[in-house]
């Protein structure tokens, strides 16, 4: 699910407001992520972003992902041994993760809503998003 067009302008302003230049390489990485690029590793982001900005380098992708993480625009998730994949930090994300093959299945049903309300009530903590992961063995690996 991609961000709305207005969100793009807000994210660009967020970069500028934090004192960072909005360069074509950064915009290319941001565009890949905005176009629904969930669970992409840095190599996949590099490959897709090079279609937008062919001179993009690997180090720039890593630096941009680090910056976007610091600004709370994306967050890394670590599934298996393949290193981080990146998801948008907005909203809530729910995953089933196979501990055998590393397969990740997204699901929408949120069981954390009542827990979020309870945490707010008990600790005065305003939850803005959450990541919920269940680890186990997928049907294919059970066979």
| pLDDT digits 0-9 by tens, 46-90 | 999 999 999 999 999 999 999 999 998 888 887 666 678 887 877
Whole-model pTM: value is 0.73
CATH number of 5-88: 1.10.10.10
CATH number of 92-142: 3.30.1490.190
* 48 Cβ neighbours under 8 A, 6+ residues apart: 32, 37, 40
Kindly list the domain boundaries of the chain, sorted by start residue. Answer: 5-88, 92-142
CB 94 within 8 A of CB 107: yes
């Amino acid at each position: 699910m991609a961000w709305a067009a207005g969100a793009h302008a807000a994210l660009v302003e967020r970069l500028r407001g934090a004192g960072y230049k909005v360069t074509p390489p950064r915009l290319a990485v941001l565009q890949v992520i905005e176009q629904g690029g969930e669970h992409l590793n840095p190599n996949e982001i590099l490959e897709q972003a090079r279609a937008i900005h062919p001179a993009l380098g690997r180090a720039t992708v890593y630096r941009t992902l680090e910056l976007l993480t610091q600004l709370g625009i994306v967050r890394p998730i670590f599934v298996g041994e393949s290193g981080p994949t990146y998801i948008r930090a907005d909203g809530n994300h729910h995953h089933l993760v196979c501990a055998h093959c590393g397969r990740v299945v997204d699901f929408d049903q949120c069981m954390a809503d009542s827990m979020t309300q309870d945490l707010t009530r008990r600790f005065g903590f305003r939850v803005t998003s959450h990541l919920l992961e269940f680890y186990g063995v997928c049907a294919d690996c059970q066979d």
